[in-house]
Amino acid sequence: MTLPVADAATRAEILDWLDRFATCVRAVDYKSAYPFWHEQALAFGTHKRVLEGLWDWRDRQWDSVWPKTDDFRFVPEQTHVLASPDGQMAVAITPWGSTGFHPDGTAFDRPGRASIILMRQGQTWVGVHSHMSLERGVPQESHGNREVIAR
């Protein structure tokens, strides 16, 4: 039995979703990011317990990462997309990168990986779970100070 690899159209939709969500992260625009996620989404990261719901995730994870980093992006050419046979669920397994900042302001590469589970709602995809973690050896804290443009 082989993995349920997404067809080309589903893969393109998920890559587009990832790109548009990453745009929100780079802009530190929470308000524009909310529609990408189910309000009851479950999430965790490198050192966070399971966060239940979009607002808990925003307050405990987004606030501690998005304003403190820059240049967030997924790596589409290395992204795997799996999909359920009925086309209602998909999983993106993808590396990502960003820029972190040491306390003195110098930048460092901040690579990681993510698994994101999405479900179809009508003609759109909505994230229901995210696990994002840093690669080993990457500093856990970043000291950037960018403004949240829309809460």
**How much is the pTM?**
0.95
Q: SS3 for 76-118, per residue?
A: HHHCEEEECCCCCEEEEEEEEEEEEECCCCCEEECCEEEEEEE
Beta pairing, strands 112-121 & 89-101 = antiparallel
pLDDT tens digit sequence for 67-77: 999 999 999 99
Number of domains within the chain = 1
Residue 3: inside a domain: no
Which residues of the chain are modeled with pLDDT < 50?
Answer: none
Of 109, 114, 113, give the one whose Cα is nearest residue 139: 109
Residue 145: inside a domain: no
In this predicted structure, what is the pLDDT of residue 45?
74
| CATH number, domain containing residue 107 | 3.10.450.50
Residue 74: inside a domain: yes
In this predicted structure, what is the pLDDT of residue 48?
66
Beta pairing, strands 89-101 & 80-83 = antiparallel
In this predicted structure, what is the pLDDT of residue 46?
65
Residue 148: inside a domain: no
Residue 105: inside a domain: yes
In this predicted structure, what is the pLDDT of residue 150?
86
In this predicted structure, what is the pLDDT of residue 1?
83
pLDDT tens digit sequence for 26-48: 999 999 999 999 999 999 876 56
Residue 146: inside a domain: no
Which token pair is 84? Answer: 């359920």
Domain span including residue 125: 8-134
In this predicted structure, what is the pLDDT of residue 62?
93
Residue 141: inside a domain: no
Percentages helix, strand, coil for the chain (3-state, rounded to 5) are 30, 40, 30
Distance CA 69, CA 66 (A): 6
Residue 57: inside a domain: yes
